[in-house]
Amino acid sequence: MTTSMTLPLWYDLHVHLRQGENMSVYIQAQLDMGCAGVLAMPNTKPPVGKVLESDPVDGYWSIENYMGQIMDAGGTAFKSVITPLYLTKDTSAEMIKNGAASGMLKACKYYPPHGTTNADHGSPLAGFIDNGVFQAMSDAGVVLCIHGEEHGTTGVDYFDADHNAEKNFYLNEMPALRAAFPDLKIVCEHITTKEAVSFVKSSSDNIAATVTPQHLLYTVGHLVQGLKYHLYCLPLVKFDADRDAIRNAVTDPDNTKFFAGTDSAPHTTKATPCGCAAGCFTGGVAPQLYAQAFEEAGLDLNDTHAQKSFEKFLCLNGPQFYGLDIPEETFTLMRVESDVETLQCGSESVTPLPLGLGMNTIAWSIKRS
Ligand code: DOR
Ligand code: ZN
């Protein structure tokens, strides 16, 4: 008998929809894989660095404006869209207070300055502790989405067998932040290390984490063997012990804190003459890849208990954390092999995983009910 799971539509609580003409293609890819809604990251060009059009700062899009662009590009088909405010040197406690009161501001995103794609507007963490921004967020119940990597590191501090930018961040910076703002709701985004898993597990219920398909499936060996640049994303895929810790966290039947956020990040040009754009694209294929990862972690998705764990991770924990309704509409995942193709965006294209690793099929397929 073919394994199949009928699940509520799910929320992708970390995705990049970018800007311009390709947005509608990226939105359609989300809808095609059963997304009821998205949390659309603000590292656009220009960044989404203010809440309302009337906020008195220049050089940024507002959440109000960006949300309009998403809706015009087909986002009206989503039940819910959240766009976090990009925390910059211009973010003030006043902006947070007014934004939350307006109903437009639900979350803010911290980027380590220059730490990843379009993170040039990021500003050091300590600034938001000193200027009252985190306190204002905590008071108003605004979620902090955190890209947890220490910035400004190089060489062995950036990535080594014993150190990496994410491990450093969760050991050196997060405990103090948690202690200073015990009521602040935090999502540790796209976690990749056993240290991040331990941090989230040892925290109260207002600290949770998103996990991507690539960090559940792959390790650094997959990236470096043949320099598979479609797997190059930040934070980098890590080691087997890290992947084990993340797999154990998401498959735990009692998991309430770890949920789906693909970090699907379309790049029409990945490799350049002097480096590589960071970001893996999983539009259209994420639930299939998550199912593959659960089975590689040792769960049998024929089993109803395993299916329940999968449903918690993909469909229930995330919306519960963000206070979103679980949709009544469903979609179905079947263990039937399907093809994976590039996504055409006009004259450009984006290569999804696992095609970017040379595999043009995937063990699962999806049917919208
Ligand atoms: O790999 C990544 N790509 N990590 C990020 O944090 C940003 C993302 C992007 O926007 O491409
Ligand atoms: Zn991201």
Q: Which portions of the chain are predicted below pLDDT 70?
A: none
The position carrying tokens 């294209």 is 349
Ligand 1 proximity of 264 Cβ (cutoff 6 Å): no
pLDDT at residue 134, as a whole number: 98
The alpha carbon of 1 and the centre of ligand 2 are apart by a number of angstroms equal to 38
**Residue to probe by mutation, ligand 1, list 215, 263, 267, most atoms within 8 Å of CB:** 263
pLDDT at residue 368, as a whole number: 86
pLDDT at residue 33, as a whole number: 98
Counting ligands in written order, the one closest to the CA of 17 is 1
Choose the CATH number for 4-368 among 3.30.1390.20, 3.40.309.10, 3.20.20.140, 1.10.10.10: 3.20.20.140
Nearest CA to ligand 1 atom 8: 279
Kindly write down the DSSP assignment for every residue of 45-82, as one continuous string. SS-EEESSTTSS--S-EEHHHHHHHHHHTTGGGSSEEE
| Four-residue CA torsion sign, 72, 73, 79, 80 | negative
pLDDT at residue 359, as a whole number: 97
**Known active-site residue 263:** yes
pLDDT at residue 116, as a whole number: 85
The alpha carbon of 15 and the centre of ligand 2 are apart by a number of angstroms equal to 6
The alpha carbon of 38 and the centre of ligand 1 are apart by a number of angstroms equal to 16
Choice among 263, 300, 303, 325 that is catalytic: 263
Ligand 1 proximity of 153 Cβ (cutoff 6 Å): no
Interatomic CA distance for residues 23 and 266, integer angstroms: 10
- The span from the first CA to the last CA of the chain, in angstroms, equals 20
- All structural domains of the chain with their residue ranges: 4-368
Interatomic CA distance for residues 355 and 340, integer angstroms: 6
| Four-residue CA torsion sign, 17, 21, 25, 31 | positive
pLDDT at residue 2, as a whole number: 82
pLDDT at residue 117, as a whole number: 86
The alpha carbon of 263 and the centre of ligand 1 are apart by a number of angstroms equal to 7
Ligand 1 proximity of 278 Cβ (cutoff 6 Å): yes
Interatomic CA distance for residues 277 and 234, integer angstroms: 10
Q: How many C-beta neighbours within 10 Å does residue 152 have? A: 12
Region class of 59: left (phi > 0), else alpha (psi between -120 and 50), else beta: left
Interatomic CA distance for residues 48 and 30, integer angstroms: 21
Nearest CA to ligand 1 atom 7: 117
pLDDT at residue 199, as a whole number: 98
Ligand 1 proximity of 234 Cβ (cutoff 6 Å): yes
pLDDT at residue 369, as a whole number: 74
Instruction: Say if CB 166 and CB 196 are below 8 A apart.
Output: yes
- Taking a 5 Å cut-off on Cβ, the residues next to ion ligand 2 are 41, 263
Nearest CA to ligand 1 atom 10: 117
Ligand 1 proximity of 243 Cβ (cutoff 6 Å): no
The position carrying tokens 């397929």 is 365
Ligand 1 proximity of 237 Cβ (cutoff 6 Å): no
pLDDT at residue 248, as a whole number: 98
Ligand 1 proximity of 265 Cβ (cutoff 6 Å): yes
Ligand 1 proximity of 117 Cβ (cutoff 6 Å): yes
**Token couple for 117:** 């794609």
Number of C-alpha atoms within 13 angstroms, CB side, residue 204?
8
Q: How many C-beta neighbours within 10 Å does residue 293 have? A: 25
The alpha carbon of 169 and the centre of ligand 1 are apart by a number of angstroms equal to 17
Residues 6+ apart with CB under 8 A from 79: 9, 36, 37, 324, 325, 327
Instruction: Say if CB 62 and CB 91 are below 8 A apart.
Output: no
pLDDT at residue 137, as a whole number: 98
Nearest CA to ligand 1 atom 4: 234
